[in-house]
């Protein structure tokens, strides 16, 4: 059996490989525009299809208890390989309509990769969940930022090889986890429990972590979706340079990788609840103050963006660690899945709301996101007092 440190590195790398399926259309937008006549609105539909698939997939995993019925490594393998096939077929599909269906299928498969990866961490390192999940979510953050970097430094490949490369990585991820197996901490329960996961919300600790996470998710993906617009508005005259905007947007989102890792390390000293509270407080403050930062020098605006990028995601792994700790031992996978499902559903509404009001409100649209951190902080207060 692998030792804990080796197991965690395998899970972290496999998570990055597996979740590379998530944003492949964003990386190949110019090629899709040429082949299918895809517009920015169509790209939003492709992204929305993945999100919807992920939401339905995590909901199905949670309500059926499937995430705790089968071994996590087996679910990860099947999901990664199936997702790789759906993603590969996307590269070969002849039209946007078929592509939308395949992206939905990819989202369903991601439901067996992202939350299940968190369960694997809980199984291999129950005493280091905050630190390990910091690395895990950091890899997802880096994968989210990567399309912006690819736009800036694209070597001129056709779009199909880029998409297929993600499929190869996902298959590698599945094989890595299959070889690793499940950790000793969380064996499968061996039974279905339809709807039983709802009982997790009776646990005060899980309920507080989940509600805090929902407030965090209301802000997170809307900020990431707005990243190019926020960056362009902050760069002054350079905001018309698409390469500069893409590089800065990449740095803005990728800074979250460092935030997750540092937050995980800090959680070992002060606890996950306090790390999550501090990060959510800082990112909420940035949402509140950002519209007034329009007149600051460009260099200062970029620094503030990097700080915001670190804070906006640093709390996410700590919420997951708190939820995994408080969830019933036989339903950790299902509990994390239902929390993810509801949280990602909220992102759909937040993204639609902020995108719809951008033209009329500009950067002031971030005020619409402040309510999430405020409610999340109120939910988290009991956990901070108890630790």
Name the residue with tokens 């070992």.
Answer: 268
The CA distance from 44 to 75, in Å, is 29
What pLDDT score was predicted for residue 164? 87
Confidence check: pLDDT of 43 > 80: no
Q: What phi and psi values does residue 163 have, to the nearest 5 degrees?
A: -65, -45
Give the mean pLDDT of the chain: 83
Question: Do residues 262 and 314 make contact, with C-beta atoms less than 8 angstroms apart?
Answer: yes
**Listed range (77-81, 195-199, 262-266) with the worst mean pLDDT:** 195-199
Q: How far is CA 152 from the centre of its chain?
A: 22
Asked whether the predicted pLDDT for residue 226 surpasses 90, the reply is: no
Q: Which range among 35-44, 83-92, 102-111 shows the weakest confidence by mean pLDDT?
A: 35-44
Q: 48, 238, 27: which is closest to 151 by C-alpha? A: 27
pLDDT-based confidence at residue 157 (cuts at 50, 70, 90): low
Alpha carbon distance 328, 308 (integer Å): 34
Find out whether 230 and 363 touch, Cβ atoms under 8 Å: yes
Higher local confidence (pLDDT), 153 or 346: 346
Kindly tell me if the per-residue pLDDT of 282 is higher than 60.
Answer: yes
CA angle, corner 216, sides to 211 and 221, nearest 5?
Answer: 135
Gap between the Cα atoms of 97 and 90, Å rounded? 10
- In angstroms, rounded to a whole number, what is the distance separating the alpha carbons of residues 53 and 277? 30
Instruction: Give the global pTM.
Output: 0.78
Q: Helix H segments across the chain? A: 4-19, 24-27, 29-36, 40-64, 66-69, 72-92, 96-110, 114-124, 129-153, 159-180, 204-234, 242-270, 272-289, 298-314, 316-326, 332-361, 371-386
Q: Which long-range contacts (CB under 8 A, 24 or more apart) does 365-368 make?
A: 365/226, 366/223, 366/226, 366/230, 366/286, 366/287, 366/288, 366/290, 366/291, 367/287, 367/288, 367/291
Mean pLDDT for the stretch of residues 353-373 = 88
């Amino acid at each position: 059996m692998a030792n804990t440190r080796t197991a965690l590195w395998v899970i972290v790398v496999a998570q990055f490989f597996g979740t590379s399926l998530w944003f492949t259309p964003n990386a190949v937008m110019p090629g899709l525009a040429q082949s299918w006549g895809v517009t920015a609105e169509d790209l939003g539909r492709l992204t929305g299809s993945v999100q919807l698939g992920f939401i339905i997939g995590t909901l199905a995993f949670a309500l059926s208890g499937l995430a705790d019925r089968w071994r996590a490594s087996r679910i990860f393998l099947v999901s990664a390989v199936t997702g790789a096939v759906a993603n590969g077929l996307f590269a070969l599909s002849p039209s946007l309509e078929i592509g939308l269906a395949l992206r939905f299928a990819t989202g369903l498969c991601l439901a067996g990769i992202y939350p299940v990866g968190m369960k694997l961490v809980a199984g291999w390192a129950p005493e280091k969940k905050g630190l390990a999940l910091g690395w895990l979510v950091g890899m997802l953050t880096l994968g989210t930022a990567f399309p912006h970097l690819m736009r800036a430094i694209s070597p001129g490949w056709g779009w199909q090889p880029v998409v297929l490369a993600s499929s190869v990585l996902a298959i590698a991820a599945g094989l890595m986890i299959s070889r690793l197996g499940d950790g000793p901490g969380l064996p499968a329960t061996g039974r279905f429990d339809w709807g039983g996961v709802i009982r997790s919300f009776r646990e005060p600790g899980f309920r507080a972590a989940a509600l805090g996470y929902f407030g965090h998710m209301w802000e997170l993906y809307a900020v990431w979706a707005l990243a190019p617009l926020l960056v362009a508005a902050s760069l002054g005259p350079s905001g018309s340079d698409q390469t500069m905007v893409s590089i800065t947007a990449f740095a803005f989102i990728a800074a979250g990788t460092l935030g997750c890792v540092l937050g995980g390390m800090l959680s070992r000293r002060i606890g996950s609840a306090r790390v999550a509270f501090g990060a959510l407080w800082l990112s909420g403050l940035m949402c509140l103050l950002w519209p007034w930062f329009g007149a600051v020098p460009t260099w200062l605006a970029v620094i503030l963006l990097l700080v915001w990028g670190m804070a906006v995601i640093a709390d996410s792994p700590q919420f997951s660690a708190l939820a995994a700790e408080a969830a019933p031992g036989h339903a950790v996978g299902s509990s994390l899945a239902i929390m993810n499902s509801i949280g990602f559903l909220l992102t759909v509404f937040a993204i639609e709301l902020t995108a719809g009001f951008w033209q009329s409100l500009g950067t002031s649209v971030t005020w619409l996101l402040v309510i999430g951190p405020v409610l999340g902080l109120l939910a988290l207060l009991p956990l901070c007092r108890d630790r």
